[in-house]
Structure 1
C-alpha cells in the first residue's frame, strides 16, 4: 500500500547493521594490514562487497539498508580516534582498566595485555571531518534517492571509552576537572557528527552500546562494589550516561530517527559478555533516554523476561531481537511469532503509564536478529548461507505479524 511504502524507521523487519564479510574481503584486509595492498586496491574490494550485500538486503525485502560495516575492523569504527584530544594507544596496561567490566574480563583472563584502546590526552573537539560520511555517501550510490532515508548508519556509544577505565584514568585531570566537563565536550563532538551526517541526507541512526547491558550484569555490579577506587555509585553513573546521551542527541532534527541497540556482547567465536534482564535499568532508561527506538536482545534466557517492556512509554518503539545471529541453528517461525505477540501483550499492560491495547503495542514493535552477524570483522559462528536464512526468517516473522508492512 502507498501509505506503507512511505513508512519511516523503525521497520517491522530490521537487522543490526553488521553482516558477514566475504572471504575475499577478509583476505584483502589482512594483506592491507601487512602493507601488501594499497588503500585504493582495498577500497575497490570493499566497494564490490558492499554492492553485493546491499543487493542481498534488497532481495530479502529489507528497508533499513546498511553496508554491513564492511569498511570497519570493529563495530564502533574510527569516530573516537579521529577527534582532537583523543589518541589510540597500543599495548596498554591493565592497570588503567576496570578489568571486571564484562568486555574487558576476557582479555584479562586470557591475554597479557588488552587490545588497542583510545584515551583522552587533551581537550576533545570534532575535527569537522566525519569518519562515517564516506560510508554513507557510497551507500547513496547503490539505492534510489527516495530510499536514502532508509539507510541505517551505526555509531559508537558516547561513553564507550569511559566505563572501561578506572576512575581518574579516562582523561587527564589537568584537562578536565570532572566527568561533567569531559562529557560536555563528547556531547559537542556528537552534535557536530550528527549535523554533518544529517546535512548529507542521513535520517536513520543506530547507536550500538554494550555498556548499558553491563548495568544489568551481577558480575559487573559485584566488581564495581568491590573496587575501592570507585567513588561514584553505579546508579549515579547510569544517570550521568543518560544525561550524556541526551546532550549528544539534543540538536538532532525531529526527522532523524534515533535508535539505541543495547548489546550483551558479540565477539570471537560468538562470545557474549554480560547476562541479566533489563529490569534494573528499564524504568529509568526507557523513560528518560531520548531515542525513538530501543533494539533489545531477546534470543536467550540471559536477556530475562519481557516484563521490562511494561516500562516503555507511549511514543517509543522496541525492535525485538528474538532470532540469534550467533549460531546457525534455526528458530521455529511459529514460536517466534508467538513470542512477539507475548511481548506485545506484556508491553500493552504497562506502556510506561496507564496501559494500552495489544494492537497499539504491536504497532510499536518490530523484529530482528539480536545483534549483528560480525561486530568484529571475523564474524560469528555461522556462514553466509546461515545468515541469509536468519534474515529471511526475520522477514517472514514480520510478514506474519504485520502483513504488508516493510
Structure 2
C-alpha cells in the first residue's frame, strides 16, 4: 500500500515530462494571441489528466503535473513570489554546447509570500485528479536559486544585508510550503541546481579566495533551507533533487559531490535525488558522508539518463546500485531518472515512447532489487 512513510519510493521520478504536441501548439498559439488564457488552460488541463493516467499506468506511486503549466522548471515559480520580477537579459545561460533562451529574474522589492501564487491552483488541480492510493507530488525550485552570485558584493534592491534577505526568503518559502500542505500536499521536492553548480565551481576554482567564496555560498544554502524547514508539519515529506543543468539534452557543469557532501549532509530534509547518470558526478564515496549524518534518510540514485534515448540495461543498473552499497546500505537507496525529461518546455531530445521506456525501466529494475518496492 502506498504510504507517506515510504517516500521517496524505491522507484520514483523527478517531475517534468515531455510536453505533448497539442500543448506545444496551444502555447505557441497563445503567444501569438490566437487563443485565450482559458483556451490554453483547457488544453493544459486535458494534457495533465492524460499524463497522470500515463504515470499511474506505468507504475509510479507518486505523480506530478509534468510541469506542463511552466516554461521553466524554476523561473515560473520564482516570478510568482512577491518582490521577484521577470528579467530578459541579452543572453541566456551558456551550457556545455548550447545557450539557453534568455530569461532571468530581478529582486526589486522585499521578498514575501504570495497567497495567490499560481502554483497553488496548479497543485489543487493535480490533487483533485490523482487517483486514490497515489501521491500527488509538488516540485518547486530551491530558495538557493535566488542568491547564487559570483562575487561577495550584495547588491539586491531593497536589501543591503544578506542575513535580512535570507530571513525574508526563508519566511516566504516556509509560508509557501505550509500553504501547499494546507491544500493537501504531503510530498514536496526542492529542485536545487546550486549544489551541482558549486561542485563544478569549486572543482575549477583558480584561487583559494574563489574556493572560500563558494564554500560561503554553501553555508548560506544550508542556513536558508534549514531555516525554512523549521516548524513544518511532521507528516510533510520534503526531498531535494540535485543536478548539474538540463536543457535540450545538454548539461551546464561537471564536478563530484565530494565538494558539497558535508553541506548536503547538514540539510534537514527527508531524502536526496542525486544525479549519477555519467562520470560528471564523480563516485559514490560522498554518499558515506550523507549516510553517516543521516542514517534513516534515503538517497535516490539518478542512474537512468533523461537526456538521451538509449536505454540502459537492467543488469548495468543493478551493478551500479551494488557499487554504491559499500558507502550506504541498500535499504537506504532508491532509483529514478537523473533529472526530469523537460526542465524547460523545449524538452530533451527523445520521444515520449522513449521517455516511458525509461520510466518502466526504473520501475522494473527497482522491483528486482528491493523486496519492498
Query: TM-score, structure 1 length as denominator?
Result: 0.85
Could you tell me how far apart the structure 2 residues matched to 1:377 and 1:217 are?
A: 26
Report the Cα distance in structure 2 between the residues aligned to 1:6 and 1:242, rounded to whole angstroms: 25
CA distance in 1, matches of 2:110, 2:69: 28
Give the Å deviation of 1:283.
2.2
Structure 2 equivalent of residue 335 of structure 1: 316
Q: Report the equivalent of 1:400.
A: 368
User: Secondary structure at 2:191's aligned position in 1?
Assistant: strand
Tell me, yes or no, if the aligned pair for 1:162 and 1:170 is still in contact at 8 Å: no
From 62, 68, 74, the equivalent of 2:60 is 62
Q: CA deviation at 1:166?
A: 5.0
1:128 pairs, out of 101, 105, 115, with 115
Structure-to-structure mapping, 1:46-85, within 5 angstroms: 46-85=44-83
Q: 1:324 to 1:334 in 2, by over 3 A?
A: same
Q: 1:110-136 deviations in whole A, cap 9, x for unaligned?
A: 77x982221111212112223211121
Q: 1:162 aligns with which of 147, 150, 161?
A: 147
Aligned-partner SS, 1:82: coil
Q: Secondary structure at the match of 2:71?
A: coil
Q: Tell me how far 1:77 sits from its aligned partner.
A: 5.0
Contact 1:13 1:367 in 2 (8 A): yes
After TM superposition, give the deviation of residue 369 of structure 1 in Å: 0.5
User: Once the two structures are superposed, what CA deviation does each residue of 1:127-186 show, in whole Å capped at 9, x if it has no partner?
Assistant: 222321112111122223553xx21111112021321465446512xx222211111101
Partner of 2:259: 280
Which residue of 1 is the match for residue 239 of structure 2? Answer: 259
Alpha-carbon deviations, 1:329-372, whole Å to 9, x = none? Answer: 1111011012112212321xxxxxxxxxxxxx222111000000
**Structure 2: distance between partners of 1:38 and 1:224:** 53
Give the secondary structure class of the aligned counterpart of 1:180. helix
| Equivalent pair of 2:239/2:273 in contact (CA under 8 Å) | yes
Contact 2:13 2:340 in 1 (8 A): yes
What is the DSSP-based 3-state SS (H/G/I as helix, E as strand, rest coil) of the residue aligned with 2:146?
helix
Shift of 1:222: 2.3
What is the Cα deviation at residue 224 of structure 1? 7.9
Which residue of structure 2 lines up, in the alignment, with residue 298 of structure 1? 276
Range moving further from structure 2, 45-54 or 118-127: 118-127
The within-5 A match list for 1:363-402 is: 363-402=331-370
Most deviating of 321-330 and 157-166:
157-166
Farther off after superposition, 83-92 or 334-343: 83-92
Task: Tell me the distance in 1 between the aligned counterparts of 2:208 and 2:155.
Answer: 19
Contact 1:367 1:398 in 2 (8 A): yes
Is the Cα contact below 8 Å between 1:19 and 1:69 reproduced in 2? yes
Deviation at 1:80, TM superposition (A): 2.1
Q: Does residue 1:14 correspond to 2:12, yes or no?
A: yes
Give the structure 2 partner of residue 104 of structure 1. Answer: 93
- Aligned partners of 1:125, 1:300: CA distance in 2, in Å? 38
**CA drift at 1:106:** 4.0
| Equivalent-residue separation in structure 1 for 2:207 and 2:42 (angstroms) | 46
Question: Which of 179, 187, 190 is residue 196 of structure 1 equivalent to?
Answer: 179
Q: Contact 1:214–1:220 at 8 Å: present in 2 too?
A: no
Matches of 2:208 and 2:298, distance apart in 1: 33
- Structure-2 residue corresponding to 1:34: 32
* TM-score (norm. length: structure 2): 0.92
Partner Cα distance (1:48, 1:14) in 2:
23
RMSD: 2.4
Q: Is the 8 A contact 1:321 1:368 kept in 2?
A: yes
Give the structure 1 partner of residue 298 of structure 2: 317
Cα distance, 1:86–1:20 mapped onto 2, change above 3 Å: same
Give the number of equivalent residue pairs. 370
8 A Cα contact 1:20 1:384, kept in partner: yes
The farther-off stretch of 245-254 and 122-131 is 122-131
Any idea what the Cα deviations from partners look like across 1:234-292, whole Å, max 9, x if unmatched? Answer: 21221111101111211221111111111111012x11011111011112322x11111
Aligned partners of 1:196 and 1:309: how far apart in 2?
A: 32
CA distance in 2, matches of 1:206, 1:5: 17
* Contact 1:275–1:302 (Cα < 8 Å) also in 2: yes
1:341-360 equivalences under 5 Å are: 341-347=322-328
CA distance in 1, matches of 2:204, 2:352: 37
CA distance in structure 1 between the partners assigned to 2:38 and 2:9 by the alignment: 35
